[in-house]
A and B are shown apart, each in its own frame.
Chain A
Amino acid sequence: MPVTMPNLSRRNFGRLALASSAAALSGALGAGYARAATPKGEPIKVGILHSLSGTMAISETTLKDVMLMLIAEQNSKGGLLGRPLEAVVVDPASNWPLFAEKARQLLSVDKASAVFGCWTSVSRKSVLPVFEELNGILFYPVQYEGQECSRNIFYTGAAPNQQAIPAVDYLLSEAGGGAKRFALVGTDYIYPRTTNQILVNYLKSKGIADEDIMVNYTPFGQSDWQTIVSQLKAFGSGGKKTAVVSTINGDANVPFYKELGNQGISATDIPVMAFSVGEEELAGMDTKPLVGQLAAWNYFESIETPANTAFIKEWHAYTKQPKRTTNDPMEAHYIGFNMWVQAVTKAGTTDHDKVIDAMIGIRQPNLTGGIAEMLPDHHLTKPVFIGEIQDDGQFSVVWKTPALVPGQAWSPWVAQTKDLIGDWRKPIACGNYNTVTKTCLSRKHA
């Protein structure tokens, strides 16, 4: 991408006058600008907050690229409000405090009209206070644990009820093999913890007994799965059909599946339903032993719709890599970006408050069919697909929800939050509104 130093405005010179502080600032201003400008006028800045180095670069680099593509495309369509869009790319380097710092930079120094970014929950948690303080707009494209509803964040990924619950429904169903025992295996961080908490309650409500539910957590980057896999094997030989629900974080998956394969556990014996394994991860695995293993997403590259085919074609053209995969978070960004464009057009301004209000109710077609709608709790309506891994590293869809599933910020399956909803429309205008006591928790004390 073309990198140009920012042009110093009068105010910046003033800052420069201030010896050392100016140093820090001009540094901060040295944000990389990827210009794709054709339309005239003061450019509208779009922040891209994805790690380009460090451990998360694996997943996030792609999202940066897709954003650049979408922005370039929008500019070629004449920009927004007749003004060019300008991407401001920064690298939080997989360092959570750095996420907060860069977010502050994007909002207060670059005055970004919207920011697209974050992958891990912790990075989102780390920038959330910044976005609320500076009243920015963040589009968060990854499936996550829910239990959050900020006015300044739009959650374009799946909430647990848009991925985890339908996935388990499938496993319980006849088609899915009618599992009676469940092993919930995950990496020890917030997303698996919450998801499993929700799933355990949900499974119990489906009449699964405690002794038929096994929960296990492993550290990040766990590479020696021998013991755990053998435990799963033993657990699965209880005479009841057993399924594994995996919230294992990206990197640890390869050794996990390898161990499964080697210990002779095939998808037909004990199917593994993964929530964090997408096309991108499969690209890094030898998928032969994985054939038949499952994943639940709201998007699969293999789904054949005109929109999706076109998107993939454009992606390959833009990256000049005819094999480069697409995945669920990319679609989330696609939807989020187009919704934002609509909202800005509708509001006729990039003013954050106006845009935030305009966002609710915006409708944008999914790449995989159906219409995504921005709900009052800043989550989307999404279709849910179950895919089986094929030996060509793609998923083949074996099941989908008949209707679109509306995202729930707060899970009804967690005691503390079953009465909470998010609704940013007036008069409620609250992220954690208790429908029973009719009070807004955050406002009650603030």
Chain B
Amino acid sequence: MRKLGLACLLAALCLGGGLGEASAQADDFSGLAGPQFEEMSASITALAAHGGPQGDAALQALEDRHLFSGADGALFIHDGAVCQNARTGEAASCPEDLKPVRLNNRIRTVLAGAHALRELSSAEPDVRLKAAQALYARHDMTMLPALEQAMSTEKVPRVHEKLMQAHAATVLAQAPAEGTQATRLKAVGYLAEVGGLEARGLLANVAASAVEAPEVRHAAQRAVSRIDWHLRVWSVLQNAFYGLSYGSVLLLAATGLAITFGVMGVINMAHGEMMMIGAYVTWLVQQGIRMTVPALEPIAILIAIPVAFVVCGGIGVVIERSLIRFLYGRPLETLLATWGLSLVLQQVIRSVFGPTNIAVQTPAWLSGSLMVGGLDITLNRLAILVFAGLVLAGLMFVLRRTTLGLQMRAVTQNRRMAALMGIRTPKVDALAFGLGAGLAGLAGVAVSQIDNVSPNLGQSYIIDSFMVVVFGGVGNLWGTLAAAMALGMGGKVLEPTIGAVSAKIAILVLVIVYIQRHPRGMFPVRGRGIES
């Protein structure tokens, strides 16, 4: 049995790519048609080198997955309506049995290289800069001549700079040969300035290699230690950012509770489910927009925000009128009832949308990240951070500046008096609860961008959000903010050292202990007022 296993593994090593035989006619293109990945990469390099406009077109099509192979190695570029012969470029009628040319990671890499090479000769400096950047990351020997050629012709300084760096990286990536010492030393200098993980990796290899000349090696070692120091500094900031963004998610999840629990004293265990519904609304909005006005698709998420707020808010009002209002003054009963409600809501969603996850799209402008020095700030997290801030600000405004806010605070401080003063307390209650639910909906929209959207979504947030509210001090939004950030930061500071699980446990225990020392959280609402 063991033997068989060995056999197949040997086979694995020697055999690459799918099965089938290469195609009939042999030109630079033919590799693309065949299923053999080696031949494919061969022809890609060939086409990139001397494929002419047709070659470029073909490669571009391949990247865009518009390249199709027909019977006996015929190749077609099939872009939606138009269809042309890849070799000749003349329009042709695509046959039925077209198969898209398959890629694998190796091909993608080669393709990317070819692409970069093509773009080195682009007229656009920015494009050339991008190309240089790509080549820097690839540091691939075969690109060396092209690089040197480009360097000699490049006029724009910043591009030239980048090219030099790419060149340096490529040089260092190779084993040292006779008389290359000087160049290598210069290269080390370059990379030392560039810094960053990529450079560090290369330099570390140099510093470690035995065949390297001593002074080069030492230079590399010094460079590595310098870069390491920088990286350490940045990593602190990086962790801080992680903490903030984690905190902002907690904050979003908790603000709704801060209203329902903190201000109204209602324990809404279905809060998490409100978030879940918010996320599903986001999905529905995206689907709807895709079907009706695809043009708006990129901003579907923005449209989802008000919709989610309104929908969840509405549900909230209904819940308050039909359930919560019968349970005022009995928070613990509310807790049980809303828990039951959460079970029902989950099951409803499960029956309607099915138990599996649904794919909420992340628009292009929300994916990816931007580098700030050594800081890698992911856009969706940044967006959530900002969003959380806006939501909190908005909430503050509502509570402080609007009649609803005023009435809410009046009702919570002295229901009877408020009623006597002509405030329609039932209406206020309903609206307040709706507000809380709506906020949960907003949180749902945000969460749909980082977490998976399934009927179980709510469960994973409910305990954390309660922790935040209680820890921060009930009925105090600033407390909620502080608590969310504290928990977020705490978690992220601990995580690298003791691991994710232990960090979470540690945080929980800390909160438990803290609550027991300070039963009213970090920012208690003090004084005789609330006692009597």
Contacts and interface: CB of A to CB of B under 8 A. Distances in A.
B496 interface: yes
B66 interface: no
A95 interface: no
Interface in A242-296: 251, 253-255, 258-259, 261-264, 267-268, 271, 280-281, 283-287, 289, 292, 294
B105 A388 contact: yes
Interface string B1-45: 110110111011101111000000000000000000100000000
Interface stretch (A15-23, A28-36, A104-112, A218-226): A218-226
Contacts of B18: 397-400
Nearest to A219: B501
B503 to A, nearest CB: 9
Interface stretch (A37-45, A80-88, A150-158, A172-180): A172-180
Contacts of B242: 224, 226-227, 230
Contacts of B350: 53, 57
Contact of B368 (A165, A264, A268, A391): A264
Contacts of A267: 105, 108
Contact of B8 (A230, A396, A405): A405
A187 to B, nearest CB: 11
A258 B112 CA distance: 22
B245 A226 contact: yes
Contacts of B71: none
B367 A227 contact: no
Contacts of B280: none
Interface in B110-167: 112
B200 A237 contact: yes
Interface in B442-495: 449-454, 456, 460, 491-492, 495
Contact of A165 (B9, B16, B112, B360): B9
B359 interface: yes
B380 to A, nearest CB: 6
A296 to B, nearest CB: 12
A286 B204 CA distance: 37
A281 B357 contact: yes
A23 B202 CA distance: 73
A408 B367 contact: no
A170 B104 CA distance: 13
Given A219-B501, A227-B496, A262-B379, A402 B11 contact: yes
Contact of B105 (A230, A285, A292, A408): A292
A361 B381 CA distance: 55
B456 A286 contact: no
Contacts of A219: 500-501, 504
Interface in A192-232: 217-219, 221-224, 226-228, 230-231
Contacts of B103: 292, 388
A400 B16 CA distance: 9
A269 B355 CA distance: 34
Contact of B12 (A166, A217, A222): A166
A287 B376 CA distance: 23
A188 B143 CA distance: 43
Given A227-B239, A401-B8, A406 B355 contact: no
A233 B231 CA distance: 13
Nearest to B197: A237
A289 B355 contact: no
Given A286-B359, A286-B361, A166 B378 contact: no
B381 A268 contact: no
B238 interface: yes
A161 interface: yes
How many chain B residues sit at the interface, stated as a range, is 35 or more
Given A175-B17, A188-B501, A223 B4 contact: no
B5 A262 contact: no
A172 B242 CA distance: 33
A58 B357 contact: yes
B8 A403 contact: yes
Interface in A290-343: 292, 294
A284 B356 contact: yes
Interface string B428-450: 00000000000000000000011
A354 B325 CA distance: 64
B358 interface: yes
B246 A402 contact: no
B362 interface: yes
Contacts of A400: 18
A350 B52 CA distance: 70
A224 B449 CA distance: 12
Contact of B378 (A53, A263, A283): A263
Contacts of B450: 223-224, 255, 258-259
B37 A226 contact: no
Interface residues of A, number: 74
Query: Counting chain A CB atoms within 10 Å of each CB, which of B8, B249, B362 scores highest?
Result: B8
Given A173-B12, A403-B4, A259 B109 contact: no
B386 to A, nearest CB: 16
Interface in A379-432: 384, 388, 391, 396-403, 405-406, 408, 412, 421
A165 B361 CA distance: 34
B409 interface: no
A345 interface: no
A155 to B, nearest CB: 15
Contacts of A222: 500
A233 B367 contact: no
A1 interface: no
B359 to A, nearest CB: 5
Given A227-B239, A268-B109, A403-B4, A239 B358 contact: no
Contacts of A287: 359
Contacts of B204: 238-239
A239 B139 CA distance: 11
A76 interface: no
B465 to A, nearest CB: 14
A263 B180 CA distance: 36
Contacts of A221: 456, 460
B106 A177 contact: yes
A124 to B, nearest CB: 21
B181 interface: no
8 contacts: A165-B5, A174-B13, A177-B106, A238-B201, A251-B456, A262-B369, A399-B16, A403-B8
Interface of A: 53, 55, 57-58, 61, 161, 165-166, 169-170, 172-177, 188, 217-219, 221-224, 226-228, 230-231, 233-234, 237-240, 251, 253-255, 258-259, 261-264, 267-268, 271, 280-281, 283-287, 289, 292, 294, 384, 388, 391, 396-403, 405-406, 408, 412, 421
Given A221-B456, A254-B357, A399-B12, 19 more contacts: A57-B355, A58-B454, A166-B9, A174-B13, A174-B16, A176-B105, A177-B109, A237-B201, A238-B204, A240-B201, A258-B362, A258-B449, A267-B105, A268-B105, A268-B109, A280-B356, A289-B362, A402-B8, A403-B7
Interface of B: 1-2, 4-5, 7-9, 11-13, 15-18, 37, 65, 102-106, 108-109, 112, 197-198, 200-202, 204-205, 238-239, 242, 245-246, 249, 347, 350, 354-362, 367-369, 376, 378-381, 449-454, 456, 460, 491-492, 495-496, 499-501, 504
The 4 residue pairs across chains A and B that have the minimum distance between CB atoms: A284-B357, A175-B16, A254-B452, A239-B201
